[in-house]
Structure 1
Amino acid sequence: MSPIIFPSFLALLLVAAEVRRTAATKAQVAQPHPPIDCHYLNSQRSLALDKMLGVWYAVEVVEHFTQDVRTGHTDLPQCPVFTLTEEKRNSTQSPLIRLLWKEGDAFSVEYSLIMPEKYHKGFWRSTGTQNGSLAENSRYRQFSGTVHIMRATGDHAVLTFCSETELQVFSVLLSREPTMRQSEVRSINNMLERRGLPVTYTKSTCRAHNGVSANIATELNMAGAVFIILLLTTVVLH
């Protein structure tokens, strides 16, 4: 990992607490979108879990702000990889799903998730604590909340993470390949808007696989924060 990125990563962590306070203050002044209810996001009710398992590439992250704190778009060369596995348990228990989020050899974090509602298979809840190199950082904030499967097909999926303890709601667009047609990305973003999730800031990833030149990718890598920062905090820099 480049030694230039890591200091930026730590700097973002240091401002996390102040950012949350600032965002909360702004929420009291201006709120163009209604608050997001993590229990009613209209996620898929039916789901073939076995079709969800395996390796995925995160090709875009969409941050959902309900207050006017950040808008825009960023291209990033990093190509995070998600791996979903199921741990078999007895028939009286809900499936235990392991979600491993990795960025190369630098950072990883593993979620443990359960499917608490038998007839709502696209609604998952975190259980226990996260593991991985990122979770070992003393500044890491354990995620406690829900993960909603907003869409799941054979070649792409949309997961919305909704924290119950932080000002943080974001969606991850997953693809079986490190690329996705822009028309499909726009369609997914429109779907999220229709379901009450404002698309306020987007981060396109895997840009090295999508025609971004090596020089531009290097510049982005040096200037931007590590993409996995979303797992720690929603950061706004002014």
Structure 2
Amino acid sequence: MQVEGAGAVVFGGASGLGEATARRLAADGARVVVADLALERAQELAREIGGVAVRADVTDPASTGAAVEVAAQADRGLRVAVLCAGRGDGAKLVGREGPTPLEAFAAVIEVNLLGTINALRLAAGEMAGNAPEAGGERGVCVCTASVAAFDGQIGQVAYAASKGGVAALTLPVARELARSGVRVATIAPGLFDTPMIAPLPQEARDALTSAVPFPSRLGQPQEYASLVAHVVDNPMLNGEVIRLDGGLRMAPR
């Protein structure tokens, strides 16, 4: 997919993996819509990269659709959608005081899984109406899962389930959208230096990085963004879930 002059929307684009992706797509020539609940930060980033900021909640069809519509105003229409919005709240199935309230699990699944489905359906629906490029491509959607989809830890009941759902939907959605020339791939990051990990003390960060075979460090958001750029560029990447984790396999705790 040619990025120059294309419309792109990055959900969860105001920080972490999404911010790095928005910066990379803008540097490659896309007109980027930074879609995030944190509107002030999204506006600041959009000014830096020459993009547009939209307050969007991926669980809300109206605001998600509005972000898609803004991205579609680019000269070549919406061609790239990257879904980085998510939450990582942890909770055991059964805590010290008994079964954890169902709402704690539902909130995570609503954002991570239903939010992904919502953003996917709206972005893909818009892309399907694009004029095809050489090779018949009309758009590319990149979802974000996690290594927790495959080796989730204790306390990651909802998170692992939600990210496992994102991984599982990748192939059926890619098969469905093939007739429209829209590709779908998912990246499953390991331990990355994002705002989710930033508050941890150095001792905890060192413990995390020691589990990564090579390179034994936290991933950098720019490395995630680099893989997004490759997925967009490589027309044979479709229906695939790609682990980006330095060979990490998470321990039970």
**TM-score grouping bracket, smaller chain normalisation:** 0.3 to 0.5
Q: What is the TM-score when the length of structure 2 is the normalising length? A: 0.31
TM-score, normalised on structure 1?
A: 0.33
Bigger proportion of residues as helix? 2
More strand by share: 1
Higher RCO, 1 vs 2 (CA within 8 Å, ≥6 residues apart): 1
